[in-house]
């Protein structure tokens, strides 16, 4: 499924050695940078050593593949609390990491000399509503741990946010980068909290905190409990059975993004020089569509596709979310550009699901995460 996205990086600035305590300052103008979206590598002149938490979720494995093409397999460490498949182990370093265990995280950072931390651990919207206490622990306490860890060890940290960080009082079409949020799910509340605590640590302590608000992310991996996951589930059901029951109304418009665009946005954002960023949290998106529009496009490939609509509690969540995401700040500040629209999204998703799940032997399917 994975296709290579981006290329190399630049050298680090030379360290200073003034013997009196002074505030940490930005790189001086005389330090040379490569053209846009290239990153100053921290610490010595080596590639960043990267830790990915929650690595066996929707984004982690593919993110690790992309980063390993850029920085080398040994420099990207995937982690989770789940037993990995053999294929995950064969693709690069994997370790156990519990984000609620601060001392354990400290040991990992010290032992592996971590420079960047990409924090994917979270309970998604629909799942979080079913277990609010656990969502608070994972999504809020876990963020506290990794933010404090990043401050302590001067890491560059990425924490994803979401369209779920907005609520019914937010403008929905379009939803700008800075506006009222007031979400009504614990997932959304926890993401607003992550955005604010990260920005606070940036202003208070100089933490290099970076956050992208992602729309619904579409990949061939089976659905993971998000409100936008109908746009993933329908491919699995349509290609296997020729039918699908959708839990959202046909006219429910939501922002979406193919996983390759999502991961390329993450990489470009992480590489962007600090002085290029006008804020620490950005909206990013690629398209907006309704279930009806998606199914119509998919129906061109599955002519006898039969869809029924049975809206459930997830409809209430979707009704409070943005319909169209305004990501003009990201396009202006660090030159974000999406690649995939609805037509080629459907083309690639059909191929991805068939190659990875439909046209594989039963024993191979057990290796999929």
What sections of the chain are H helices per DSSP?
Answer: 60-71, 86-91, 102-112, 125-130, 132-136, 142-153, 186-205, 230-241, 259-271, 291-299, 313-318, 328-333, 342-353, 362-365
CA dihedral 184, 185, 187, 191 (to 10 degrees): 0
Enumerate residues 6+ apart whose C-beta is below 8 A from 51: 77, 79, 97, 108, 109, 112, 114, 116, 117, 118
Name the catalytic one among 71, 187, 340, 357.
Answer: 187
Contact between 301 and 237 under an 8 Å Cβ cutoff? The reply is no
Tell me if residue 244 is catalytic. no
d(CA 55, CA 50): 12
Would you name the residues annotated as active-site residues?
187
């Amino acid at each position: 499924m994975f296709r290579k996205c981006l290329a190399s990086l630049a050298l680090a600035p030379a360290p200073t050695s003034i013997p009196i305590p002074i505030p940490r300052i930005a790189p001086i103008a005389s330090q040379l940078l490569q053209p846009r979206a290239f990153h100053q590598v921290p610490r010595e002149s080596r590639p960043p050593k990267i830790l990915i938490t929650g690595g066996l979720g929707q984004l982690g494995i593919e993110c690790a593949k992309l980063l390993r093409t850029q920085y080398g397999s040994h420099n990207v460490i995937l982690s989770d609390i789940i037993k990995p498949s053999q294929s995950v182990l064969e693709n690069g370093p994997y370790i156990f990491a519990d984000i609620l265990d601060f001392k354990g995280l400290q040991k990992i950072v010290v032992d592996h000399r971590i420079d960047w931390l990409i924090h994917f651990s979270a309970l998604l919207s629909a799942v979080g509503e079913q277990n609010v206490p656990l969502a608070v622990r994972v999504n809020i306490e876990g963020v506290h741990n990794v933010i404090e860890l990043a401050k302590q060890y001067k890491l560059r940290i990425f924490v994803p946010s979401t369209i779920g960080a907005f609520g019914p009082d937010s403008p929905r079409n379009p939803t700008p980068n800075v506006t009222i949020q007031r979400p009504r799910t614990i997932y959304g509340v926890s993401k607003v909290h992550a955005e604010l605590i990260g920005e606070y640590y940036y202003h208070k302590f100089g933490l290099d905190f970076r956050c992208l608000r992602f729309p619904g992310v579409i990949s061939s991996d089976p659905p993971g409990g998000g409100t936008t996951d109908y746009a993933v589930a329908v491919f699995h059901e349509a290609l296997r059975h020729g039918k699908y029951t959708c839990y959202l109304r046909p006219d429910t418009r939501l922002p979406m993004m193919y996983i390759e665009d999502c991961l390329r946005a993450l990489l470009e954002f992480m590489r962007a020089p600090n002085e290029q960023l006008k804020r620490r949290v950005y909206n990013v998106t690629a398209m907006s569509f309704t279930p009806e529009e998606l199914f119509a496009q998919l129906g061109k490939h599955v002519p006898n596709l039969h869809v029924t609509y049975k809206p459930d509690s997830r409809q209430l969540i979707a009704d409070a979310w943005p319909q169209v995401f305004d990501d003009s700040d990201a396009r202006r500040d660090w030159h974000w550009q999406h690649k995939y629209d609805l037509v080629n999204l459907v083309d690639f998703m059909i191929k991805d699901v068939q190659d990875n799940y439909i046209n594989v032997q039963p024993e191979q399917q057990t290796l999929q995460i």
